[in-house]
Structure 1
Amino acid sequence: MTPGRAREYDETDVRVRPGRRGSRPRSKRRPEHADAAEAMVIGVDRGRWTCAPDGDADRPPVTAMRARELGRTPIVVGDRVGLSGDVSGTVDTLARIVRVEDRDTVLRRTADDTDPYERIVVANAAQLVIVTALADPEPRTGFVDRCLVAAFAGGLTPVLCLTKSDLADPGPFASTYAELEFPVVVTRRDEPPDELAALLDGQVSALVGHSGVGKSTLVNALVPDAERAVGVVSGVGKGRHTTTAAVALPLPGGRGWVVDTPGVRSFGLAHVTSNEVIAAFDDMAAAVEDCPRGCGHLGPPADPECALDALVAAGALRPARLEALRRVLVALR
């Protein structure tokens, strides 16, 4: 370089300092995994998911882990997912969950009515079967009402299953919910649950119930090899099956799934609003748009301007139907 002249630079003067992670620019683009195999999650245990390819119970279940790009995306029993990697179901193989599809329905709960953190129990179930004994133990409307709220808010069709009808008359308790017009089935301890089995045929249905009401007896009657099926799912966690986790069990012939939820004893409803419940009823959903802000739809004196009372006055809604719904809505208060 000539003294007194400014130096001229070109591309040969560029120096790139090598970094520990390389100099290739990072991208936010993620692979689309268009060829990912479709599957349904049927069990969860300590960071591993058991999946049924194509929702087919006759194919070997696949053990999978969550792909890094999904981050902390929650994955629960009933979720429809995309799998990449080894999906043969061979022992000691591991696939990756690379995609979680949008959910049609969600059964949610909180620890209590003041807990802001909601827990997704089951995804994509069409029905919530609320199992209640008619005697030993005595039936409780409070638990049933809370389950109904969770079902209506999550988009599930509730089914009330009254067990032990050989000990008590199902009529009085069933009549409490007759105006809400959802299915009610009655079972006996000395007869197979054929009516319930017909209702579950071809559906994904979640079962909930208190201890002692006969839910385990129903599951074993509906799924004769339930013990073996649970063992396959719990094998993901090296043989330990947690009773607080939901497990999907295939109905005979591959026609539908029963999701046993032994850990759900009650429902905290902190995440639910009364409008979400009303939305499940076609004959009332539009009317509540005329309610004042913050209306809980309980009627006078709590909600004196509720539009549902105007429906009754106009003859467009049966008073007994509104009364039955409001009894359920009390669970939110």
Structure 2
Amino acid sequence: MSWWDQDDDEDEPDYDESDVRVRPNRRGSRPRTKTRPEHADAVTGTVLGVDRGRYAVLAAEGTADERELVAARASELRRKSVVTGDHVDLVGDVTGAPGTLARIVRIGDRTTLLRRSADDTDEVERVIVANADQMLIVVAAANPEPRIRLVDRYLVAAYDARIAPLLCVTKSDLADPGPFLENFAGLDFPVFLSGRDRMPLDAIRESLIGHRTVFVGHSGVGKSTLVNALVPGADRAIGRVNAVTGRGRHTSSSTVSLRVESPDGHGWVIDTPGVRSFGLGHVDPSSLLGAFTELAEIAENCPRGCTHLPDAPDCAIIETVGAGALGDAGRARLDSLQRLLTTFASG
């Protein structure tokens, strides 16, 4: 008998698999699940502003329990952006007491989404604001000179987002705004004229009540001055125009919602940083036609793929307007549509 067949220690116990202790794998030992808490007790609010990962949120708007909270984005939303104007659900400490922090766990449906891209070739969109229903475009009659193409781009973005545009021309005491406004004769939206001796605050404020209105404009056109006049205590920084370049200095560095009060109620001004470019790489050009209801109906008779531009063959809109069926108003509307389409197509 070989030595390994000999039983040298008869007292040694026999072992089997059930006697072996397996050290548990602590990392990942519990199965992952995609189930998330329902947060049935969540509080709903609206994002007023964003600052370095912290969100100012207004809860219970218009009630006796209205309060402003500071919140962070919950881990389950780490891949989703939260922007000014978003309707969100919050949990955690939602009292709004100093030093407290709530958590945003859900983002509500967005009725509108105003976006821009870095340039016309960049399809990566940059969300400016959610759930706005109006856009007030602020432009100066002079100093700096009005930029028609930039206003066209604002209009394209507004129509694409289904946001109603308004226009305010500041510094109208320095130059006649008439020639500039002729470029938009075919577009039906309110226009306000403001100058050193007159600022139609009552009329502008009335147009804001009951709405969430995003203010956009080139730096130095007087947008922050207008916001400060409409919302006392807003303290939005006011820039100056460089005497050499004619360009305004960027002052507002963040997008923020400010309440506008009136005896008839309140509305919201959403002030944005001044921009010198407004890329449209994300826009679907077909959405522009939707802003011209009467022309869109005629366009149903256009050939497939019709651009509606002056050189488009067999364009039903061009033929109808050319025949005088819609009168001078129709010609002005078609001119505006074609200019906006050209602005988008030419970049």
TM-score range, shorter-chain basis? 0.7 to 0.9
After TM superposition, give the deviation of residue 151 of structure 1 in Å. 0.4
After TM superposition, give the deviation of residue 173 of structure 1 in Å. 2.1
Equivalent residues in 2 for 1:43-58 (5 A)? 43-56=49-62
Distance 1:16 1:38 in 2: 48
Q: Which amino acid aligns with 1:248?
A: S
Q: Which amino acid aligns with 1:259?
A: I
Q: Which residue of 1 aligns with 2:108?
A: 101
Alignment equivalent of 1:312, drawn from 295, 318, 321 = 321
1:80 paired with 2:87, answer yes
Distance 2:127 2:269 in 1: 17
* TM-score, length of structure 2 as denominator length: 0.81
CA shift in 2, pair 1:282/1:55, >3 Å: farther
Contact kept in structure 2, 1:64 and 1:94, CA below 8 Å: yes
Instruction: Deviation per CA, 1:102-159: give whole Å up to 9, x if none.
Output: 1111110001111121100011111111101112222121111010001000111111
1:255 paired with 2:261, answer no
Contact kept in structure 1, 2:118 and 2:279, CA below 8 Å: yes
Q: Which amino acid aligns with 1:265?
A: R
1:329 paired with 2:336, answer no
Contact kept in structure 2, 1:246 and 1:263, CA below 8 Å: no
Contact kept in structure 1, 2:169 and 2:193, CA below 8 Å: yes
Instruction: Deviation per CA, 1:29-66: give whole Å up to 9, x if none.
Output: 22222321111111111111111113459944211111
Distance 1:181 1:37 in 2: 40
Alignment equivalent of 2:32, drawn from 26, 42, 48 = 26
Equivalent residues in 2 for 1:256-295 (5 A)? 256-295=267-306
1:205 paired with 2:213, answer yes
Q: Which residue of 1 aligns with 2:230?
A: 222
After TM superposition, give the deviation of residue 18 of structure 1 in Å. 3.3
1:177 paired with 2:184, answer yes
Distance 1:70 1:84 in 2: 13
After TM superposition, give the deviation of residue 17 of structure 1 in Å. 7.0
Distance 2:286 2:51 in 1: 35
Distance 1:287 1:73 in 2: 40
Where 1:152 maps in the other structure, the secondary structure is: helix
Q: Which residue of 2 aligns with 1:235?
A: none
Q: Which residue of 2 aligns with 1:296?
A: 307
After TM superposition, give the deviation of residue 316 of structure 1 in Å. 5.0
Q: Which amino acid aligns with 1:134?
A: A
Distance 2:127 2:135 in 1: 14
CA shift in 2, pair 1:17/1:183, >3 Å: farther
Contact kept in structure 1, 2:138 and 2:167, CA below 8 Å: yes
Contact kept in structure 1, 2:218 and 2:274, CA below 8 Å: no
Distance 1:252 1:57 in 2: 15
Contact kept in structure 1, 2:236 and 2:252, CA below 8 Å: no
Q: Which residue of 2 aligns with 1:238?
A: none
Identity across aligned pairs (percent)?
A: 54
Equivalent residues in 2 for 1:63-74 (5 A)? 63-74=70-81
Who wins on radius of gyration, i.e. which is larger? 2
* TM-score, length of structure 1 as denominator length: 0.84
Contact kept in structure 1, 2:133 and 2:211, CA below 8 Å: yes
Q: Which residue of 1 aligns with 2:3?
A: none
After TM superposition, give the deviation of residue 278 of structure 1 in Å. 1.0
Distance 2:23 2:306 in 1: 63
Q: Which amino acid aligns with 1:176?
A: N
After TM superposition, give the deviation of residue 274 of structure 1 in Å. 1.6
After TM superposition, give the deviation of residue 22 of structure 1 in Å. 5.8
Distance 2:287 2:34 in 1: 36
Contact kept in structure 2, 1:274 and 1:297, CA below 8 Å: no
Q: Which residue of 1 aligns with 2:5?
A: none
Q: Which residue of 2 aligns with 1:6?
A: none
After TM superposition, give the deviation of residue 289 of structure 1 in Å. 4.4
Where 1:194 maps in the other structure, the secondary structure is: helix
Where 1:256 maps in the other structure, the secondary structure is: strand
Distance 1:16 1:156 in 2: 64
CA shift in 2, pair 1:95/1:228, >3 Å: farther
1:191 paired with 2:198, answer yes
CA shift in 2, pair 1:246/1:108, >3 Å: same
Matched residue count: 308
Contact kept in structure 2, 1:208 and 1:265, CA below 8 Å: no
CA shift in 2, pair 1:244/1:117, >3 Å: farther
Q: Which amino acid aligns with 1:208?
A: V
Distance 1:92 1:289 in 2: 58
Where 1:208 maps in the other structure, the secondary structure is: strand
Distance 1:60 1:28 in 2: 33
